[in-house]
Amino acid sequence: MLRGLAGTWAVLGALLWGCGLALLQGGMLYPQESRSRERKELDGLWKFRADFSQNRRQGFEQQWYRTPLRESGPSLDMPVPSSFNDVGQDGRLRSFVGWVWYEREAALPQRWTEDLGTRVVLRIGSAHYYAIVWVNGVHVAEHEGGHLPFEADISRLVQSGPLSSCRITIAINNTLSPNTLPPGTILYKTDTSKYPKGYFVQNTNFDFFNYAGLHRTVLLYTTPTAYIDDITVATDVDQDTGLVNYQILVQGSEHFQLEVCLLDEEGTVVAKGTGGRGQLQVPSAHLWWPYLMHEHPAYLYSLEVKLTAQTAAGFVSDFYTLPVGIRTVAVTQSQFLINGKPFYFHGVNKHEDADIRGKGFDWPLLVKDFNLLRWLGANAFRTSHYPYAEEVMQLCDRYGIVVIDESPGVGIVLAQSYSNVSLQHHLEVMEEMVRRDKNHPSVVMWSVANEPASFLKPAGFYFKTLIAHTKALDPSRPVTFVTNSNYEADLGVPYVDVICVNSYYSWYHDYGHMEVIQLQLATQFESWYKTYQKPIIQSEYGAETITGFHEDPPLMFSEEYQKGLLEQYHVVLDQKRKEYVVGELIWNFADFMTDQSPQRPIGNRKGIFTRQRQPKSAAFLLRERYWKLANETKCHRSAVKSQCVGNSPFTF
């Protein structure tokens, strides 16, 4: 039964396409400029105030959203996008839990406020965690969840009077409870001999700092009042013909025409269609291949969509262009196939994390990270442990970096976090995530969670429901969650397509004993495979390493120990990848910030790069390995084996 599920999955995917995503209300297309659309970023300095009052509710009691923030008290300058935690000198703000208030005046182009045929939308890329938004004191949106975008149509508000600007106020609460994703608990310390009155701490069960604030761009954009609300593409390949199945949703008019046009990278039209749903056929299609798997990886077509709609004001047009990569994904009992060829994930786990800005989006950091990934020869990463910025996904599409797209379901370990309330929220988060990322060819698998207590009784129903829901939303991709439970006790793994397993042999146990790694890792793989006959990814492994610490023979925390531990893993990975192991993702790409604890010397140091993105010795080891693996893949496929010489990074 289990084996059957994995095997038929690819076929079912194609058949079910079109029924998927029915549950989602409305689209969340990336806001882009076009002939019919403008965008105005509101990045820069915002006014900011943390509500330090005892109950953290002074802002609501005094209605800070009603008037400019400067009128209700002092405020700070706060950069957006950025976490608020690390930019100041006030230690209380770094660890603040509760409501913070952001405010910004935006000047609006005259046409936006006067042309009633224009729709003005406020879009917030990521506000961690719960956000309430007002425009000119009027409540316009509320959103739960820190890593996915949300929007409000503010046309009526900005077009109802002679306005040239609008005041945007956003209150954000970073408190995590057993029902949020990720979950957390607030613990009140009531022993007055030890703690002041009302003292509480935020506890979490994940290993990264709970940075908060406006982490991604806040912007205003326009569309006509009749507009392209959503586009869904799912691609397939028949012999050498690429098939692009598309579905387009329109809002604002019932009387409209849609024209679609697919262009290749040279700008030549290769296929055309009309209507809200259809299939485009591309003879001799250039497929989207992962980095290092093809001479021309990451080939992207452009799907140009034109809407012509009748509105009360006459005919309007809307234009949207979606990058499209034609590729297939399938899973067998022992392989992960991209375009029908075995794909081996050799890559990293990441975090959105850096000095000062915390989780704030930053272009230089992003470009540096992608340059490092390509230098390393990494062909994949997992968005551990939450969805990353949309711009990250776009670069993955463009560079051919394959993504396991993970939800913020990290640290689900309390019984309460398996309640119906939690499950309902998790289902909604998956809807938002699939809605946002469904069209990225780089995304090849959804991960619904990381290291949940999947041995607890309710975990079976929880993961069965969650995975089924995700598959209903998107039948075209496999679904997994990342486990560290025992293979006999795990109640969620029966429902995944690929088993992703984390282990830290000779790190969290058998400290210093690297000699046990090979046996323990081989046992791990064999146990899982014998039980499930599904492909396996080593989704985390690694060792804490303080850059510049050297010990030979290797001791824990030294660069030599990190290298040595990795080498032991690689011996077994090299055996098992010939059988059913389909990937290895190092923990972690770079050092990152965590909560303070005796095990974390200013954050987690398992990066192969420092937090400032400088390589540790292990980075060079992995670089050699990843390029070698890439060369091997190429050699397997190459008709002329003599083209593959040596293992040097520079032969590819």
Residues near ligand GCB (CB under 6 A) = 206-207, 385, 450-451, 484, 502, 540, 587, 604, 606
The 3-class secondary structure across 96-163, one letter per residue, is CCCEEEEEEEEECCHHHHHCCCEEEEEEECCEECEEEEEECCEEEEEEECCCCCEEEECHHHHCCCCC
- Please name the helix (run of DSSP H) or strand (run of DSSP E) that holds residue 530, with its range, or none: helix 517-532
Alpha carbon of residue 287 to chain centroid: 24
Tell me the β-bridge partners of 502: 540
Minimum distance from residue 617 beta carbon to ligand GCB (Å):
18
Strand, coil or helix: 221: strand
What is residue 196's DSSP assignment?
A: -
State the burial class of residue 22 (Cβ atoms within 10 Å of its Cβ: 0-12, 13-18, 19+): exposed
CA distance 538 to 533: 15
Taking the least distance from each CB to ligand GCB, the nearer of 27 and 603 is 603
Tell me the β-bridge partners of 267: none
Please, which contacts does 606-610 make with residues 24 or more away whose CB atoms are closer than 8 Å? 606/542, 606/543, 606/544, 606/545, 606/562, 607/545, 608/348, 608/562, 609/372, 610/547
What is residue 405's DSSP assignment?
A: E
Q: Considering 390, 432, 451, 560, which one is annotated as catalytic?
A: 451
- Residue 368 contacts residue 613 (beta carbons within 8 Å): yes
CA torsion angle for 531, 536, 539, 544 (degrees, to 10)?
70
Taking the least distance from each CB to ligand GCB, the nearer of 206 and 256 is 206
What is residue 642's DSSP assignment?
A: G
Assign residue 440 a region: left if phi > 0, alpha if psi is -120 to 50, beta otherwise?
A: beta
CA distance 528 to 519: 14
Taking the least distance from each CB to ligand GCB, the nearer of 326 and 380 is 380
CA distance 290 to 299: 9
The 3-class secondary structure across 233-247, one letter per residue, is EEEEEECCEEEEEEE
Taking the least distance from each CB to ligand GCB, the nearer of 82 and 447 is 447
CA distance 433 to 410: 15
Amino acid type, 351: H
Length of the chain counted residue by residue:
652
Strand, coil or helix: 169: strand
- Residue 241 contacts residue 283 (beta carbons within 8 Å): yes
Taking the least distance from each CB to ligand GCB, the nearer of 535 and 542 is 542
Taking the least distance from each CB to ligand GCB, the nearer of 291 and 345 is 345
Q: What are phi and psi of 90, to 5 degrees?
A: -100, 110
CA distance 99 to 50: 6
Taking the least distance from each CB to ligand GCB, the nearer of 118 and 483 is 483
Told to judge if 451 belongs to the known catalytic residues of this protein, a careful annotator would answer yes
Tell me the β-bridge partners of 152: 122
State the burial class of residue 39 (Cβ atoms within 10 Å of its Cβ: 0-12, 13-18, 19+): middle
Strand, coil or helix: 404: strand
How, if at all, do strands 127-128 and 213-214 pair? antiparallel
Q: Is the peptide bond before 588 cis (omega within 30 degrees of 0)?
A: yes
Catalytic residue positions, numbered: 451
